[in-house]
Structure 1
Amino acid sequence: MVAEKETLSLNKCPDKMPKRTKLLAQQPLAVHQPHSLVSEGFTVKAMMKNSVVRGPPAAGAFKERPTKPTAFRKFYERGDFPIALEHDSKGNKIAWKVEIEKLDYHHYLPLFFDGLCEMTFPYEFFARQGIHDMLEHGGNKILPVIPQLIIPIKTALNLRNRQVICVTLKVLQHLVVSAEMVGEALVPYYRQILPILNIFKNMNGEMRENIFSNITTLSVIVPLRHKLYLNSSA
């Protein structure tokens, strides 16, 4: 009876429990957690126990590439282009100091295409508007210059900048319809132009529309012109 009373009194008053019993009840045994070792794949550390292999780095296919100084900017800052900025009620436009038809297209058109990489005003404005003006008035001067335009086009696309890609695609569309046989002349260079478009073709929004519109133009204009040529020569 006395032992039962002592047990009941200890249960009612836990503070009276022996210190050793109280410590064991409040502090459960800690489980040892082994330290994980982060290592690179295909190394000796990767084979060790408790090692965690770090995953491969991102490929960076969509990562924007840094821009480099362009020849277009150099020539513009030296004042070698016969152009000036003109303001009117409709906005900015290029004031050409000479007739566009009299320009040396072998010299000027590749330089303006080199400016497709520019993203700051006024360089980007002069380069893009200058290209459209020259394509509008170039006529038969455009076709012989096509091989000189491929590297600037490829360089602009390889920047992987969304804005630059969209602008370059619009320029390509204008280039294809700017003169006879230009579309056919671009065919050998498709393998240099199209791979970068293949990377971005699954994106949503304006870029996807521009890519598919541009590919459609490139794929339709060549057989269409060939068909028109056959009909006219029959």
Structure 2
Amino acid sequence: MVSGKEFRQSLHKPLPNSPPLPKECRLVPAFTIQAIQRGTCVIPPPKCNPFRVRPAKPSSFKSNYDRGEFPLGVSSSKEITWKVDLDKLDYHHYLPLLFEGLSETQEPYMFIAQQGIHDMLLHGGKKIFPCIPQLIIPIKNALNTKNNLIMRSTLKVLQHLVKSGDYIGEALVPYYRQILPVLNIFKERNVNCGDGIDYSQGKGENLADIINETLETLEEYGGEDAFINIKYLIPTYESCIMN
């Protein structure tokens, strides 16, 4: 009669006619031709994490600011001071550069880029509309970092951009396929704190809430084709106008 311990040990023994196991195992990547070679052990593929933060690429905003090419500075009261009149700025040059700074997380670059964008959008008027094609790639790159801080600030800038002039919301509709897919991942990812209190909701810093506010703003200012394009990319979105 075999005891339970002996039976469990026999399970780890190779079959009588099986080839001997290699003493040394060479690690090889999965899904390669090396994986079918003898004496190799396959390294498991990495797990897929759609929420993993991606490092932002170096932006030209930081290098341009360090060289002093921006006509602005930071005062002692931590406010932006413009050295020229905002109405005389070349929006085709400065606005896309500031949008590239949305991917920055270091200070003072992050603060200068965000505040500079809001100042230019506030006083830009008709100068903003021709710059829209140049702003899409910086917005896409900032959102694709999947950094909570960067995404929140970028979405707030996007809301301001849509409201800053006539027909800007409608002009953004063809670019939804570039800037909205990443929002579909985080749209329903609210903070689950159980019986606790999520203070970010009261402060307006909850990413899922900001995403919903941004989508509603895009639909409101994007014209009659906005909703169907948002719905195609984000199926869980419900219209704020039709309902």
Task: Tell me the residue number matched to 1:4.
Answer: none
Which residue does the alignment assign to 2:236?
A: none
Are the aligned partners of 1:113 and 1:153 in contact in 2 as well (CA < 8 Å)?
Answer: yes
C-alpha distance in structure 2 between counterparts of 1:34 and 1:146, whole Å: 68
**Which amino acid in 2 is paired with 1:134?**
M
How much has 1:68 moved relative to structure 2? 2.0
* Equivalent position SS for 1:138: helix
Residues 56 and 142, structure 2, Cα contact 8 Å, conserved in 1: no
1:187 aligns with 2:173: yes
Question: Is residue 176 of structure 1 aligned with residue 165 of structure 2?
Answer: no
Equivalent in 138, 141, 146 of residue 132 of structure 2: 146
SS at match of 1:128: helix
1:60 shift after superposition: 2.8
CA contact (8 A) 2:162 2:169 kept: yes
Of residues 29-38 and 124-133 in structure 1, the stretch that sits farther from structure 2 once superposed is 29-38
Higher helix share: 1
Alignment pair present for 1:167 and 2:167: no
State the identity %: 50
Offset of residue 202 of structure 1: 1.8
Q: Residues 1-234 of structure 1 correspond to what in structure 2 (within 5 A)?
A: 31-32=9-10, 33-34=12-13, 44=36, 56-88=45-77, 92-205=78-191, 206-223=206-223
Q: Contact between 2:171 and 2:222, CA under 8 Å: does it hold in 1?
A: no
- Do 1:201 and 1:208's aligned partners in 2 also have CA atoms closer than 8 Å? yes
Give the Å deviation of 1:188.
0.5
Match of 1:22 in 2: none
Change (3 A) 1:29 1:103: closer
Name the structure 1 match of 2:237. Answer: none
Query: Given that residues 172 and 222 in structure 2 are in contact (C-alpha distance below 8 angstroms), is that contact kept between their aligned partners in structure 1?
Result: no
User: Partners in 1 of 2:86 and 2:209 — Cα distance?
Assistant: 32
The structure-2 alpha-carbon separation of the partners of 1:166 and 1:34, relative to structure 1 and needing over 3 Å to count, comes to farther
How big is the shift at 1:56? 4.6
How many Å separate the matches in 2 of 1:166 and 1:53? Answer: 40
Contact 1:101 1:138 in 2 (8 A): yes
Q: Call closer, same or farther: CA 1:150–1:44 in 2, change over 3 Å.
A: same
Give the RMSD, CA atoms, in angstroms: 2.9
TM-score after normalising by structure 1: 0.73
Deviations 1:203-222 (A, max 9, x none): 11401001111001101112
- Name the TM-score, length of structure 2 as normaliser: 0.71
Contact 1:116-1:168 within 8 A present in 2 as well: yes
Question: What runs of 5+ residues in structure 2 fail to find an aligned partner?
Answer: 15-20, 192-205, 227-243
Report which of the two structures shows the higher radius of gyration computed on alpha carbons: 1
SS of 2:69's equivalent in the other structure is coil
Residues 41 and 54 in structure 1, CA contact (< 8 A), matched pair in contact too: no
Q: Structure 1's 157 and 29: CA in aligned 2 closer, same or farther, altered over 3 A?
A: closer
Q: How far apart, in 2, do the equivalents of 1:29 and 1:60 lie?
A: 42
Counterpart CA distance in 2 for 1:102 and 1:208 is 38
Aligned residues of 1:117 and 1:155 also touching (Cα < 8 A): yes
CA distance in 1, matches of 2:42, 2:58: 41
